[in-house]
Amino acid sequence: MRPARGGFGLDKTTERLVDFALDSARTELPAAVRESATAHLVDAVAVAIAGTAAEPARLAADLAVRSAASPGATVIGRRRGVAPEAAAFANAVMVRTYDWNDGMQAKAGGHPSDMIPGLFATAEVTRSSGADLLTAITLAYEILGGLGAATDRANFDQGLFMGAATALGCGVLLGLDRERMGEAASLALTTALPLGVHRWGGALAMTKGGSTAFAVKNGVFCAQLAQAGFTSAPEPFEGYYGLFHVTGEFEPRLPVSPGGPSVMEMAHQKPYPAESQCLGLLDLAPRIREWAPVEEIESIELTMADHALRHVCDPAKYDPRTRETADHSLPYMLAVALVDGGITLDSYRPERVLDPALRPIMRRIRATSSPEFDAIRARLDGVTRAHPIRAVFRTTDGRERVEDVRYHRGHFRDPMTRDDVDDKFDRATRGVVGAARRAELRADWWGIAEAADAGEVIGRLADLGPSTSEDEENR
């Protein structure tokens, strides 16, 4: 493939990304976008605080705090003064580990708030304002969506474009010029191509919720390298053996929906910790419990898109052995929701995941795919799509109930309200942060747009304070 060079030595695709980032940085966010970005920040902070208790996050944080730096960044729940890329990695694991953070449905997108810890780390060391932080996060979301909506991942994992999007957001906060912005994006893209095996293939490990943290860490580090003068391949997309050699040519969609909503506004939020394609069906659990107790449900027949079938109903998902497999197992989560009334973090405690009493219920659930639902799921609207599932519930006395779902609460078409986000914040952080400290943190983050130094707000996450015995209940 013949390289097509832009005006300063980079290929045209990279140049377009850089120009979009720099133009976005000079443009004030519309009020609706700023409000959405703030809500996604509050959401990300909530799940990060919850994630501090997870084993993958503990391991990442233990390692990160060994890397002292001045100026440095905050590892949530630990301390300030940590190397920015190390803090970004640990905090990104916290955000992602419980599969409770936001998401988008671009073919090569993923969970955009995975990037927020990278922007946090850079904003902290640059003493950027809260408004500048929101702008950098918003443009990183749009770049991730613009790349992700233009192509599939060619069997790469969700971090494929996350490193470059993070690097460009960090580059804006660092004040990089056009050439060094291009170097940052190229460094991040060409040095880290994550494999899809983390998220597919049956049983899942810690990297399912941690693989994108490597991309975010790389994005932060590559922006710093570019600032120092480190150079990279000038044609990362279009050059010989560039990305297009693997994926084929594509053109980023920037903005994703000209004249329409931003990626920030379209990105969905999760009311509870579960794989995105399962949320709509799990929303039904309280109503099904009112209709019939679980012991009277004889069978549940599910019809869905083939992508969903292979991802959340493959054989390994009928006998999950790890939390990472359980939160991607629709049979497991539906069984738990019908027994317990919903999905919480406690749904993934080892003793619950391995509970033999759930297996007979899971065996009553049968799933098949449908070309009709394949076609519905294939229709991408910006970075959103439907997740169609038809569920037929039959009872031992012959009753039948049919439910068709397309969207979940928190989807762009059924968004979470501020009250919903506050409720999620309380549920996510209960048992980790006491009630008074929760109120302080919520106030901090709903007011982030007015902060003169976002780093001071971020830094207050180093000390989460004590929890209370009352907070240990009802997680």
What's residue 332's pLDDT? 98
The span from the CA of 291 to the CA of 289, in Å, is: 5
Fold annotation for 12-266: 2-methylcitrate dehydratase PrpD (1.10.4100)
Query: Backbone phi, then psi, for 57, in 5-degree steps?
Result: -70, -40
pLDDT digit string, tens, across residues 284-305: 999 999 999 999 999 999 999 9
**CB-count exposure of residue 403 (10 Å: 0-12, 13-18, 19+):** middle
pLDDT digit string, tens, across residues 199-211: 766 677 888 878 8
Positive or negative, the CA dihedral 423, 427, 429, 434 is positive
CB-CB contact of 407 with 379 (8 Å): no
Q: Match 């960044």 to its residue by tokens.
A: 73
Residue spans of the chain under pLDDT 70? 1-8, 200-202, 467-475
What's residue 389's pLDDT? 98
What's residue 468's pLDDT? 57
Which residues are CB-contacts of 36 (< 8 A; sequence separation ≥ 6)? 262, 264, 265
What's residue 35's pLDDT? 98
Sequence spans of domains, the chain: 12-266, 276-405
Q: Match 């790469």 to its residue by tokens.
A: 156
CB-CB contact of 73 with 88 (8 Å): yes
Positive or negative, the CA dihedral 159, 164, 169, 175 is positive
The span from the CA of 326 to the CA of 322, in Å, is: 6
Asked whether the bond before 255 is cis by omega within 30 degrees of 0, the reply is yes
Which residues are CB-contacts of 303 (< 8 A; sequence separation ≥ 6)? 367, 368, 369, 370, 373, 389, 390
What's residue 1's pLDDT? 37
Which residues are CB-contacts of 228 (< 8 A; sequence separation ≥ 6)? none
Fold annotation for 276-405: 60s Ribosomal Protein L30; Chain: A; (3.30.1330)
The span from the CA of 369 to the CA of 313, in Å, is: 10
12-266 with 276-405: one CATH topology? no
